[in-house]
Amino acid sequence: MKKLFTLLMIVSVIVSCRKDDSSFDGNNIQEMYSDFMVLSTFKVDKDSIDFANGEKAVFSAQFNKPVSWKISIKGQTSKAEKIITGQTKFIDATNATWNGSTTVFPMFKAENCIAQLTIDGVADTFQVQTKVKSLKVNQGLVIADFENGFSPSWTKFVQTGANMDFNIKNDTLCPQGAKYLRMAGTVNWDYLIGLIDYPATAYGTTKTLNLSANPNDVYFNCLIYGESASNPSIVLFQFKEDENADGSINGNSDDQYDYQINVNWIGWKLVTIKYADLVTLVNGQPSTPKGNSQHNPDKIGKISMLHLADPSQGFAACKIDYIMFTSAPLEP
Amino acid sequence: MKKHLFKYMLMLLSLMSYHSMAQQKRTVDFIGGARSVLSNNNIVVSDSLPDTTTIKRNSGGYALIDLGVDIKPNKNTEILGIFRIRNAYGGFWGAGVTFDVRQLFLKGVISDKVRYQVGDLNLKQTPFTLYNHHADRLDSLPSVFKLQNDILNYEKFYRDNTWRQQGVNVDFGFEFAKGIKELNFTGYLTRLNATDFSSIPERLMGGTTIQLIQSKNLALSYNGFSVFDVKGTVLDSNTYTNNVNSIGLKYLYELNKNTIVFNGEAGRSNVQYAEDFDKSYLADYFINASATFNWLKKNLSFTAGYLNVGPDFRSIGAQSKEIDYSSLTGYYNRYTNDQIIRPISLMDLIVGDSLYATSVSAKLNIANPIYNNAMPYGLATFNRLGAYLKLDYHNEKGIQLNAQHFYLNEIRGQGTLKLKQFQVTKLTAQFEMDKLFHFQKRMNIQIGLMNEITNRNSDVAVEKVDLKTMRYQLGAEYELFKKIDVLAGGMFLNCKGNEFIPQRNVYSTVSFFEEANYNMTQKIIAVGARCRFDEKIHLTALYQVSEYNDKLIASPKYSINQFALIYNMTF
């Protein structure tokens, strides 16, 4: 019994040893619900931004309490939009720096922009003006942006269906540059509407694309516009590796990785995938690669881009632009 | 030709049997399991405008086989490899077929003294070092849900409270003639993530337990746990470290023919990013002490405990939540014409394997107050101080009862100096009616209840928190014909009130609070029939209706009806 008493005493001493905490975690809730005041007005640090030379725009403001805020920067000509959000008492370089990238496509042009600040629970909005002097440069290997039309090195196949369109367009919907590709048609006997092959030789190499060998450092990106949700297009990219670099791709001994995009949205959207995350698909289902089963982006010999759709559902259409590889997810 | 082939195969099998008999120490066993699931689902959305966007019907399924080869080349070595072949229904000539290695380990004993295992490991230490708490689950699930939940547990390697890891584990011990009875050592080192030589560093997890058993009455232990990035595996030198050290005590006091067991663990943790030390360094301690009175004659045990886990206590081995509420569900993950994200329901908690993690993670998964607000990280939930009571009863007549009550306070306020109070009451019971009333046929009834109350009183109205959640469940199974059971069960949840959800930064500290208001009911009702071919093989057909009704209409009401046919076997 004595041992038991000693043990209980030890436990009691331990239990009573924590100090009272006189601070609290996070933002002050009482302050969160107090009247809102602007302590420093909404500003931008540059009237004109030279993104091509690495310049960035920094927005700033200060409030009396933490708020959920949103800055919407809109291009007055392109109608491009960049959205930056945060939940802080202040807006500064740490949370509101704009590098020229776009959230809502098309991409920005050299144009005047208006940045509007809105705050949750506050009726007033705040505006500043700035100007894009030159565009952000995205580093990477561009497979197709259609600015120079169809390359003679590409191979195009289009089914002979109804209302077929596999042409480069030049209109206000263009998200990047001045041109994009529209792929559309009704093919009621086959999923395939059309395809384009992009061989590695079209990009200044003799056999395979000049990309990093590390599949975790290679990202595939493109911008896709969904036209209709009733018969969604399927855009299938096939990355065909030439593992022994013999200049030919063997379907039975070389790996092929696939990226199937079900275009079930309307409007432009950026799609990005790391090369290491690609899988081999057969009829849309994961399957085992036929080669060394290793992702080798530096051994891509050809990329095939297929436009597919359910033949029983009729007309399908989508638009595509700015197909490129980057070393990090593209921030166009 | 076929006749000859058959004859040769028989001869070959005879020779193989002879070879096995000749070397009796060397054995090869085949183990594994097979499963087929076929399901058909339908979602009904009650929105202000009819939902014409969501595809309402969804059907599919798969068949898989896990084939394991258990090789014992000698009495001290065992090699196990389990391969999985999975085929989605609708796959054709290899499409939809995947081949995976599901499990691979090698274990053995060196010089009859040191046990080792390399490859896949199921690891746990203590509830504050390395432990999968399954914190949001309610025990004693009705059988009709448990058989679906068992598939999830199997897929995610959830066994007891272990985490599946890959690495090496070693243990050995010494026995002494006097003074100390035993001294046991266990150590492991596993790889949490592999470097990509670019931005992801090589991250390792290691742990040690030294247990000193003085006698059958007294045992002491030291537990060390560490997760660390290996310097130089990426150019960024902002390496992450999390260390936890604890000591444990177990003392058994004999009182007449009954026992009182004192259990205690106390320890300290620290976490930091090397380059962001000022922003990231957190250190704190914890104490968990309990006394359990075992009334052996009555099969009754009663526990009273004290819990004190500091607000800055961080142990990713014990605070990694198995469920990630920010993940999307496997199907119907968006609904309504606006294609908003479908909120996670009770049904997803039971079967939604896309929500569940397979490994510990440095990312602190957020809690969902609907399912667990008081102890989202189990006993290791930081910023909790209080006491608990537990009662456990079981008898040979087939009655199992378990009751728990936690009364906890915050130690540090969240957005205010005022502290929240939490009360959690859990009751689970299982009655084997066939044993109790001497029925010939199997009949079980399961009951479960969890009531959780969160309060924060303040003179300032906006600081007040009042959240009440009640979850209850009832299930039954009855052997209608020999080896054919009917199953039925229901789970219900009511949640009403408000809470402030913390938004945490990469260092797991609070950056912002968002107020959330709740007024919802959920229910899931299922009926089924199960044919037990034997204890390891069953075929079950079940139909269940799951309903999610948010009365604040933050998310429109929906219900999902599901029919499933599940064939499961192990061998």
Q: What is the pLDDT of residue B553?
A: 77
Give the dihedral sign, CA B510/B514/B520/B526.
negative
More confident site: A181 or B196: A181
Q: What chain B residue is nearest to A87 in terms of C-alpha separation?
A: B512
B415:A28 CB<8 A: yes
B13 part of a folded domain: no
Q: What is the pLDDT of residue B339?
A: 82
Nearest to B198 among A4, A33, A217 (CB): A217
Split into its structural domains, chain B has a count of 1
Chain A nearest-CA distance from B526, in A, is: 31
Best B513, B514, B515 member to test A by mutation, with max A CBs in 10 Å, is B513
Q: How confident is the model at residue B13 (pLDDT cuts 50, 70, 90)?
A: very low
Cis peptide before B142 (omega within 30 of 0): no
Q: What chain B residue is nearest to A228 in terms of C-alpha separation?
A: B53
B12 part of a folded domain: no
Q: What is the pLDDT of residue B1?
A: 42
Please name the residue that has the structure tokens 């009550």.
B405
Contact B397, B436 (CB under 8 A): yes
For chain B, helix (H) and strand (E) counts, in that order, are 6, 25
Q: What is the pLDDT of residue B331?
A: 81
Q: Give me the phi and psi of B416, to 5 degrees please.
A: -165, 165
Percent of chain B that is helix, strand, coil (3-state, to 5) = 10, 55, 30
Q: Which CATH number belongs to the domain containing residue B473 in this structure?
A: 2.40.170
Structural domains in chain A, CATH included, are 29-134 (2.60.40.2550), 141-326 (2.60.120.430)
Contact residues, A window 84-123, toward B, CB-based 8 Å cutoff = 87-88
Structure tokens, B190: 């596993």
Neighbour-count burial for A106-121, b at 16+ CB within 10 Å, e otherwise: bbbbebebebebebee
Q: Taking 50 as the threshold, does the pLDDT of residue A99 lie above it?
A: yes
Q: Which of A24-28, B234-238, B485-489 has the lowest mean pLDDT?
A: B234-238
Contact A189, A228 (CB under 8 A): no
B415:A87 CB<8 A: no
Q: What is the pLDDT of residue B3?
A: 45
Is A21's Cβ below 8 Å from some Cβ in B? Answer: yes
CB contacts, 8 Å: B196 with chain A:
214, 216-217
- Identity of residue A84: I
Give the dihedral sign, CA B434/B435/B437/B440.
positive
| Closest-CA residue to B75 (of B117, B23, B121) | B23
Best B464, B512, B515 member to test A by mutation, with max A CBs in 10 Å, is B512
* Per-residue pLDDT reduced to its tens digit, B80-129: 999 999 888 876 555 667 788 999 999 999 988 899 999 999 999 999 99
Is B235's Cβ below 8 Å from some Cβ in A? Answer: no
Cis peptide before A286 (omega within 30 of 0): no
Q: Taking 70 as the threshold, does the pLDDT of residue B34 lie above it?
A: yes
Chain A nearest-CA distance from B310, in A, is: 9
Cβ neighbors of B132 (< 8 A, separation 6 or more) are B124, B158, B161, B162, B163, B320, B322
Q: How far apart are CA B118 and CA B373, in angstroms?
A: 38
Q: What is the pLDDT of residue B20?
A: 45
Q: How far apart are CA B319 and CA B382, in angstroms?
A: 9
Q: How far apart are CA A27 and CA B501, in angstroms?
A: 12
Q: How far apart are CA A267 and CA B5, in angstroms?
A: 63
* Per-residue pLDDT reduced to its tens digit, A240-299: 999 888 888 888 889 999 999 989 888 899 999 999 989 898 887 778 888 988 999 999
* Per-residue pLDDT reduced to its tens digit, A35-85: 899 999 999 999 999 999 999 999 999 999 888 899 999 999 999 999 999
Structural domain of B130: 26-570
The one-character DSSP state at B22 is H
* Per-residue pLDDT reduced to its tens digit, B245-288: 999 999 999 988 899 999 999 999 999 998 888 889 999 999 99
Q: Mean pLDDT across chain B, nearest whole number?
A: 90
Q: Taking 50 as the threshold, does the pLDDT of residue B14 lie above it?
A: no
Is B85's Cβ below 8 Å from some Cβ in A? Answer: no
Q: How confident is the model at residue A9 (pLDDT cuts 50, 70, 90)?
A: low
Best B417, B419, B459, B515 member to test A by mutation, with max A CBs in 10 Å, is B417
Chain A nearest-CA distance from B548, in A, is: 26
A26:B462 CB<8 A: no
* Per-residue pLDDT reduced to its tens digit, A145-188: 999 999 999 999 999 988 999 999 999 889 999 999 999 999 98
Q: Please compute the mean of the pLDDT values over residues B38-55 and round it to a whole number.
A: 86
B9 part of a folded domain: no
B513 part of a folded domain: yes
B206 part of a folded domain: yes
Are β-strands A24-25 and B413-414 bridged in parallel, bridged antiparallel, or unpaired?
Answer: parallel
* Per-residue pLDDT reduced to its tens digit, B417-437: 999 999 999 999 999 999 988
Contact B256, B268 (CB under 8 A): no
Chain B nearest-CA distance from A80, in A, is: 22
Q: What is the pLDDT of residue B19?
A: 45
Q: What is the pLDDT of residue B2?
A: 42
Nearest to B95 among A18, A21, A285 (CB): A285
DSSP B308-347: EE-TT---HHHH--SB-TTSPPSSS-EETTTTEEPPP-HH
Contact B56, B558 (CB under 8 A): no
A26:B415 CB<8 A: yes
Question: Percentage of residues in chain B with pLDDT exceeding 90?
Answer: 69
Q: Mean pLDDT across chain A, nearest whole number?
A: 90
The one-character DSSP state at A145 is -
Contact A167, A158 (CB under 8 A): no
**H helix intervals, chain A:** 2-15, 29-32
Total number of residues shown for chain A: 332
B17 part of a folded domain: no
Q: How far is CA B106 from the centre of its chain?
A: 25
Chain B nearest-CA distance from A121, in A, is: 13
| Closest-CA residue to A295 (of A270, A263, A332, A258) | A258
B3 part of a folded domain: no
Q: Taking 70 as the threshold, does the pLDDT of residue B9 lie above it?
A: no
| Closest-CA residue to B455 (of B414, B421, B412) | B421
* Per-residue pLDDT reduced to its tens digit, B435-460: 988 888 889 999 999 999 999 999 99
Chain B nearest-CA distance from A179, in A, is: 30
Contact A68, A85 (CB under 8 A): yes
B545 part of a folded domain: yes
pTM: 0.77
CB contacts, 8 Å: B503 with chain A:
87
Q: Taking 50 as the threshold, does the pLDDT of residue B244 lie above it?
A: yes
Q: Please compute the mean of the pLDDT values over residues A18-28 and round it to a whole number.
A: 78
Q: What is the pLDDT of residue A14?
A: 58
Phi-psi map region of A182: left, alpha, beta (phi>0 left; psi -120 to 50 alpha): beta
Q: How far apart are CA B460 and CA B176, in angstroms?
A: 63
Q: How far apart are CA A276 and CA B297, in angstroms?
A: 61
